[in-house]
Chains A and B, each alone.
Chain A
């Protein structure tokens, strides 16, 4: 990895994004620090999920989507012509709101990605599966039932399985899009603990509606807002999380996080 832990793993410069004629993001610039957690907060429809989906070009899959500006990963523009999207998605993994394990065994869920990149050696796969499940804090709960369906696990376990699945392909960045909104509070805490642990190796971005979750887990927080209906989402304020939650400088941030709107 080229980053040294202090630099910016990903940088978004003047990003504008359209779904057809609708401008969803306007002139967004934001840097994601290496091996830190950046949270994106803001009311529904402010473009935070759209922004996070730009980071591994998930929006490419939507007809009529169009982006302007630049997003760089280790200094290389991922929006550039001919950029290898498949390798991008391997380097920038994603955990979704609803845990979505494949209808396969726990083992196969984790081994799937490594197999896809050509790892066939059984011992090698075993060790990747074990290591990934351990890092996802799930190993102890599933080590005896690896052949059981991933979908038989509880919601919180399924989400950690999805995290293990992402880790297994050794990404550099992990995007979390509302990872805890569909799971119980204890599982939520486990995932938050897990994120703190994963920070040693990965750069992470989390979209969350739960402001306290942003306050608890992130190092940096960006607050996004749609000023008026029909307008695009913009970044209102970005700063270190402590400052954002104790003394934000923009009144709109303060109003939002304290629950005073308009």
Chain B
């Protein structure tokens, strides 16, 4: 027997909506990767225009979460799930903003200006970031704490690539300064995206186990 069925249905819908937002976001990050490596300005415009979708998602998820908190007095796992959904919506939205930032940077990089090493290095970082985000959504979907706790280690590789990138520029490569700065920022944006995925892993652990501080 189950009571509070309406409430649980609303909560399940919120959960499904979070997964939809995650899935749309994942697609956007992948598009952003392609946008950068191909310096595809059309795709950049598409990504920038698409950010509204995520603003709408966050309105629905935060609004829905607030309503359930206010009207249903959720407790235990239900309460934690609502809190986590609201936090995830924030993370997703920021990741989408970072994609928008990357797309904006792409529009300022001349199309014949990207050397192969930069393209490859960013591509590698972006692919890893995509995989991290994918896994963070997966562990939320599966309520898998073990997988969530692996994200941090996966993120180390992204951090390393980001640092390596700075060093490469140090060695006096002859990229134009403005382009160099933009590329470094793009690297940093992908690195931030990966960080958000790690945070999501922590939230998943809170949702499943109720533990507040990460060990």
Residues B1-59 near A (CB distance < 8 A): 1-4, 7-8
A144 CB-CB contact with B under 8 Å: no
| Residue A247 interfacial (CB < 8 Å) | yes
Query: How many residues of B are in contact with the other chain, CB < 8 A?
Result: 16
User: Does B80 have its Cβ within 8 Å of any Cβ on chain A?
Assistant: yes
B77 adjacent to A254 (CB under 8 Å): yes
Query: What CA separation (Å) do A212 and B7 show in the bound complex?
Result: 15
A-B pairs with beta carbons under 8 Å apart, 18 shown: A215-B73, A245-B75, A245-B79, A246-B76, A246-B80, A247-B76, A247-B80, A253-B76, A254-B77, A258-B74, A258-B77, A258-B78, A259-B2, A259-B3, A259-B7, A260-B2, A261-B1, A262-B1
B62-103 Cβ-contact flags toward A at 8 Å (1 or 0): 000000000001111111100000000000000000000000
A127 nearest CB across to chain B (Å): 41
Residue A183, interface by CB 8 Å: no
- Among B1, B3, B75, B210, chain A packs the most CB atoms within 10 A around the CB of B75
Task: List residues of chain A with CB under 8 Å of any chain B CB.
Answer: 211-212, 215, 245-248, 253-254, 257-262
| A261: B residues at CB distance < 8 A | 1-3
Given contacts A246-B76, A258-B75, 9 further A-B contacts (CB under 8 A): A215-B75, A245-B75, A248-B76, A257-B76, A258-B4, A259-B3, A259-B7, A261-B1, A261-B2
Q: How far is the CA of A257 from the CA of B4 in the complex (A)?
A: 10
Q: Which residues of A contact B80 (CB under 8 A)?
A: 246-247
Closest 8 CB pairs of A and B: A247-B210, A259-B4, A259-B3, A245-B75, A261-B1, A254-B76, A212-B73, A257-B75
